[in-house]
Chain A
Amino acid sequence: MSFSQGWDTGFRVVLIYVGIVFVWLGLVEPYFASQSLSVIVMNIVAVAVSAAFVVRARRRFTDERLAAEAEVAALMQEDA
């Protein structure tokens, strides 16, 4: 994962995290009896989703790079 990809992923993770907080506070929290419990659950969910996103992004980047490398290799073979 390059610096640029890392930046991009980080930025999206922040957006996802904050988005979950907004949605949670606006829509989900009223169903919780205890506010502190709700905040804890919210953070767990947000961390989980963010982590999942990072993992997926990493896999995607790796796959892309492998594909690109394979392509280059194929080209080189053709050239040769």
Chain B
Amino acid sequence: MEWLSEFGAIAAMQGFNGLSVFCVLLLMALGLAIIFGQMGVINMAHGEFLTIGAYTTFVVSSLTSSYAPAFGPYYFFLAIILSFFIAGAIGWLVEWAMISKLYQRPLDTLLATWGLSLVMQQGFRSIFGAREVSATLPDWLMGSWNPTEAIDIPRNGLFVMGLTLLLTALLFLMIYRSRWGLQVRATMQNRVMARSVGINTKRVDRMTFALGCGVAGVAGAAFTTIGSTGPTAGSLYIVDTFLVVVFGGASSLLGTIASAFSIAQAQSLLEFFTSGSMAKVFTLSAVVLILMLRPQGLFSAKVRK
């Protein structure tokens, strides 16, 4: 009997782990999904925008502990908001200086943003040093929540989950309910037509890109609770992120969500029953195999081209 309840507890925690990996993947991918899915732009520097968020959090954390220790428990919210705006602003600049000149050449965007990621990595190294840094987390983010004796639900996992849900909901509202979202979708469907009905497509592009980068910044801030902050931390995420978006079919947010979910569950289960390395190989292979059988991704409408 005791064995059974323990088994239940582990199953519950493992289930939570699957959800938590799902949220991490989704959070990483959201910004990219907006940029890639809505604009067709491949941003290889996406990981570095995550890192901007992480370093922002680190700076806010250090400043808080030196100048306003009383504010310690709450600095994280400020860090998230700042991360959004800083990453967004840099994204805005990048769109203005680079991306806007490459819209006709998606593969070249991919290469140019790769160059950008090198520059950004070295930038982080010059500013913050080669070593990894660690933001001090407020106590309420540490430790776990125990619904029963045997179950530990990590609080940072809950936090990431909540943040993911909130962000996803906001993005859904923005893209599918707001006037701005309508303009974005109109621009993506038919640029010329959108322009002729008075939409400033350049501005829409710029804002979309900035939004995607801002979301990446928020993700980066959130990841300081579960991962490392260093100049090359972003490159750890980039391939997984792309796979999630591509696997999801690139054009719909729903697809991205579904694909993050399936990859996360597969990974989490395989990790539990095999081992870390093998799980990674199996998951990636499965994704590639499925992409070969269904190159358009999991979710994409059949349309007359």
Partners in one complex: no
Binding site for A on B (CB under 8 A): none
